[in-house]
Amino acid sequence: MAAAPNHRASPRRASRRRLPWGQIGTHLVLLLLAVLFLFPFYVMLVTSFRSPSELFTPEFHLLPQEFTGLKYYIESITTSPVLTFMKNGVIIALGILVMQILTAIPCAYALAKFEFRGRNLLLALVIFALTVPIQVPALPLYLGLNALGLLDSYFAAMVPFFLSVFAIFLFRQSFKSYPDEIIQAARLDGLSEWAILWRIVVPGSIPAIAAFAVFSITTHWNDLYWPLIVIRSNELMTPPLGLATFADVESGENYGALMATATILTAPLMLVFMLAQRQFVRGVTMTGVK
Amino acid sequence: MMSAGVELDRIEKTYGATTTLRAATLDVKPGEFMTLVGPSGCGKSTLLRIIAGLLPQTSGEVHIDGASIDHLPPRERDIAMVFQSYALYPHMSVAENVATPLKVRRLSRMARLPALGRLLPGQARTRREITDEVRRVADLVEIGPLLERKPAALSGGQRQRVALARAIIRDPRVFLMDEPLSNLDARLRVTMRAEITALHRRLGATFIYVTHDQTEAMTMSSRVAVMMDGTIIQCSTPQGLYEAPEDLRVARFIGSPEINVVASDTVAGWEGGNTRLGQLLQRPLHIAFRPEAVRLSAESAAQTDMLHLSCHIERTERLGHDVLLFLRVLADGAGVTARIPAADFARLDAPGGVLTASLHPADLLAFGPDGKRVALPGLAAATNRGLSHVG
Ligand SMILES: Nc1ncnc2c1ncn2[C@@H]1O[C@H](COP(=O)(O)OP(=O)(O)O)[C@@H](O)[C@H]1O
Ligand SMILES: [Mg+2]
């Protein structure tokens, strides 16, 4: 790149010397927003490393005056069931995700690639259902689960989310762009419709599925509303529910341990994000060169 | 497997109010290379998909070797298809693409499961057979070194060969090809044309080959079916289509430059030739003649049994061996295209760009107002005069 300066390069270099004010402005705004979003996380992290006495001093220090090391982390893991919360979070978030993918993919494929009476009406219903929040069917769901004696179980925490209209909509958009001729070739090759869907079409929609997975895991890992309604026992509590309970019980002094717990419970989400990001890029290149 | 005859019996296809296919009827003999040619949008792809079972027809029947196959799903029809877009599975390697039809047929459902399937007992031999078969077919279409690549890493011509291999490996009774060469560059198209005809001879299977390119149609096969507006209007040898078109649309579609078409009123005013010509042309007809039927030599101008037109040369185009002359008849302003060998063009005598063009009445084709060929008994059958130039 650096070798052989030519005529084409010179005008570009000249323009680079002028300051791109527009870009600087954009980046300043983005930086401001990033600070705004990251500040609570920063406070959480820093609080988990400083002694509680520092919290209520009049002056604010960016770094702990007295670094407590892993003290609160060890305390959190040994005295609170944080690992149980995490295990529950994993089971519930993954259980929901797997069921959502299993149910949404066939629905989306039918809506995207089959001609049948009422297809447009069904699609309209899917889009309409996107606008209905969980709070609307919460009471009937609660009553139903109660009548079946299923309250306070993993199943109760997961079942309202097994069918995701958002996933159906997203996957339908992705499947719709899959070339018909490849599907027809697969039919001639003798693959069943089921095999065509899972072995041919789904591998072409990995980016959409990965995007949805990130969305779904984040939502259900962080969800407080529904677990608060159906979960009672400590052994079944999800991270936010556990954290809320933990904060109530130990309120007052122990902010350090509380923030250490919060950090531990947020870490897996960060990890998923970073892994999925790599998956995204791979998925995009896979379809991009198709 | 034995090749099979395919009969299409009055196939209709409608989408709501629009009719895409109307009474398409065609008889393809076992082992024949049949080319289906027609302009874009005339329904060629739709017809192939109906034969393959990928699309249901509105009415009409598809027979293979005399038996109706309309109730069979695509996989049971024993028909392979090569698509215009190649339709390779993008996430599979070339070897997996080619092996797919065999795996589906020879391995059990369980054995085909990813990863897990390989552990099942009793299928190692089948897998080995499939691998050998893939290798054999890959060598046949010369993609042996590409087997481990993904389709994205192949050129258009290589993808085309993979698509061919995936069809060949099934050893089907009938091959359908939907404009398989239209995405290739001109040079590659010419070599692939020869390869596909060679492949047909080697496999001996029935081929139905779709194209919108009349050169492809005229050079590749022994019989060509011309399709227009959703129906097959003529099926004949390339020579037959050129010399004895049964429909004005066929006459216009086949042959380059396009055939000359003049209203019969105009022709009736032309001098010379058969004295009965004027009477024969009492009713309004379209009169057509090939550019090479137009004679420009002095000897022709002297013949009494020919029609003679005084023309002005508007434009000439040199095609190497031949020269095209775009003429305007001085008397009535009709446009006439002539094609003569370059050697004759050099000897042409045209003072002031004006010359005499001569036509033998037997070279004239007459078509009714509906475009159908009309036999004029006064005009000797043009077919017998042996216009030899095709394409
Ligand atoms: N699903 C469809 N709905 C309505 N019209 C269609 C549909 N598919 C094809 N057609 C119409 O059928 C006609 C023939 O299409 P096609 O068979 O692809 O032509 P060709 O292959 O000869 O270019 C086109 O005019 C096209 O618009
Ligand atoms: Mg087509």
Q: Which domain CATH number covers B378? A: 2.40.50.140
pLDDT given at position B278: 62
- Do A220 and A178 belong to one domain? yes
pLDDT digits (tens, 9 = 90+) for B281-310: 677 889 999 999 999 988 888 888 888 889
| Ligand closest to CA B43 | 1
Report d(CA B313, CA B320) in Å as an integer: 19
Alpha carbon of A91: minimum distance to chain B alpha carbons (Å): 25
The total number of structural domains in chain A stands at 2
Q: Quick check: A187 and B54 CB within 8 A?
A: yes
- Residue B210 CA to ligand 2 center (angstroms) comes to 8
Average pLDDT score over residue span A85-112:
95
Residues spanned by the domain of A41: 25-69
Contact B211, B42 (CB under 8 A): no
Over range B212-218, report the average pLDDT.
90
Our CA-based measurement puts residue B63 at a distance from the nearest CA of chain A, in whole angstroms, of 18
Residues of chain A contacting residue B177, judged by C-beta atoms under 8 Å apart: none
The CATH number for B36's domain is 3.40.50.300
Residue A92: CB atoms within 10 Å: 24
A102/A142 same-domain check: yes
What pLDDT, in 10s, does the model give residues B99-145?
A: 999 998 888 777 777 666 677 777 788 888 999 999 999 998 889 99
CA dihedral B332, B337, B342, B348 (to 10 degrees): 0
Provide the percentage of residues in chain B whose pLDDT is more than 70: 91
Interface contact A122, partner B, CB < 8 A: no
Q: What is the number of the ligand closest to the CA of B83?
A: 2
Q: Do B49 and A286 touch (CB under 8 A)?
A: no
More confident residue, A256 or B200: B200
| Structural domain boundaries, residue B164 | 6-243
Tell me, yes or no, whether B1 lies in a domain.
Answer: no
pLDDT digits (tens, 9 = 90+) for B245-285: 999 999 999 988 999 999 888 887 787 655 556 666 677 88
Which pLDDT value is given to residue B386?
A: 40
> How many Å lie between the centroid of ligand 2 and the Cα of residue B330?
43
For the segment B333-361, what is each residue's pLDDT rounded down to a tens digit?
889 999 999 998 988 888 888 999 998 88
Provide mean pLDDT across the span B33-49: 94
* pLDDT tens sequence across B71-97: 999 999 999 999 999 999 999 999 999
CATH number for the domain spanning A111: value is 1.10.3720.10
**Confidence band, pLDDT 50/70/90 cuts, at residue B316:** very high
Domain termination residue (choose one: A41, A69, A97): A69
Whether the predicted pLDDT of A284 surpasses 60:
no
Shortest distance between the Cα of B215 and any Cα of chain A, in A, equals 26
Looking at the fold, whether A173 and A222 belong to one and the same domain comes out as: yes
Q: What is the DSSP letter of B109?
A: T
- Residues, CB within 5 angstroms of ligand 2 (ion): B 45
Please state the ipTM of this predicted complex: 0.84
Q: Whose CA is nearest to atom 3 of ligand 1?
A: B15
Q: What is the pTM of this model?
A: 0.82
Number of helices (H), then strands (E), belonging to chain B: the values are 12, 19
Pick from B24, B43, B48, B38: which is nearest to B226 by CA?
Answer: B38
B261 and B230 assigned to the same domain: no
pLDDT mean over A118-131: 93
Write the pLDDT tens digit of every residue in A11-24: 455 555 677 888 89
pLDDT value, residue A54: 77
From chain A, pick out residues whose CB is under 8 angstroms from the CB of B134.
Answer: none
Which two tokens mark B114?
């990813």
DSSP labels, B70-107: TTS-GGGTTEEEE-TT----TTS-HHHHHHHHHHHHHS
Amino acid at A153: S
Question: Do residue A35 and residue A156 come from a single domain?
Answer: no
DSSP structural state of residue B2: -
For residue B341, being part of any structural domain is answered with: yes
Question: Would an 8 Å CB–CB cutoff place A176 in contact with chain B?
Answer: no
Residue B189 covered by a domain? yes
**Can you tell me the mean pLDDT for A66-90?**
85
Mean pLDDT of B203-223: 92
Which has more confidence, A75 or B153?
A: B153
- Residue B352: inside a domain, yes or no? yes
Q: Give residue B186's pLDDT.
A: 86
pLDDT in the model for residue A279: 64
* Tokens at B195, concatenated: 């390869």
- Work out the pLDDT band at B384, boundaries 50, 70, 90: very low
Phi (first) and psi of residue A156, to 5 degrees: -65, -35
Of the pLDDT bands very low, low, confident and very high (cuts 50, 70, 90), residue A290 is very low
B299/B370 same-domain check: yes
Both A185 and A279 in one domain: the answer is yes
Average pLDDT of chain B, as a whole number: 88
